[in-house]
Amino acid sequence: MDEFNSSPTQLIADVDCTTEGKPLCEANGVRGYPTLKYGDPSDLQDYEGGRDYESLRKFAEENLKPACSPANIDLCDDDKKKEIETFLSLSPEDLDAKIAAEEKKNADAESLFESEVSKLQASYEKLSKDKEATIADVKAAGLGLMKACKAAQGKSGSDEL
């Protein structure tokens, strides 16, 4: 953070998600710590690179700069400019409705994921209990004693001197 603290275009900040920063973290999808995000404050992206100093410094130098956005439309390619212009031409109400619809898709995907993971967890627990019960039944049926008898049969007569 100190290396970039005087940069006019690069901000590196630390947010404590357990105290007063919790609402900001929740709004940006931070679920585990540490989480690194970058980009436009209204559209933060997950950082997936290395966590060592050199990797972080290189990423910051190469990526933390003005990017295509409504505030920097001159940095956008033609397709992105057109997309931005389309969104900017919408009324605030229409844009809110589009945002809400896309956020609902994210929420629905998260809900489905959590539901299916819960089902998988229940299935895993049942399979684990069934396996443990089968192993206990096999032991109770005398598998260990059977193996000992088999070993004894192989030795019978050959151990005599």
Strand partners, 109: none
pLDDT at 6 over 80: no
What does the domain layout of the chain look like in residue ranges? 1-67, 90-148
Q: Can you give the pLDDT at residue 158?
A: 54
- Residues 3 and 65: their CA atoms lie apart, in Å, by 15
37 CB-near residues (< 8 Å, 6+ apart) = 28, 30, 44, 45, 46, 47
Q: Which pLDDT tens digit goes with each residue over 122-142?
A: 999 999 999 999 999 999 999
Asked if 30 contacts 17 with a C-beta cutoff of 8 angstroms, the reply is yes
Q: Please state, rounded to an integer, the average pLDDT across all residues of the chain.
A: 88
pLDDT at 156 over 60: yes
Asked if 3 contacts 57 with a C-beta cutoff of 8 angstroms, the reply is yes
Q: Which pLDDT tens digit goes with each residue over 12-64?
A: 788 888 888 888 888 888 888 788 888 877 788 888 999 898 998 898 888 88
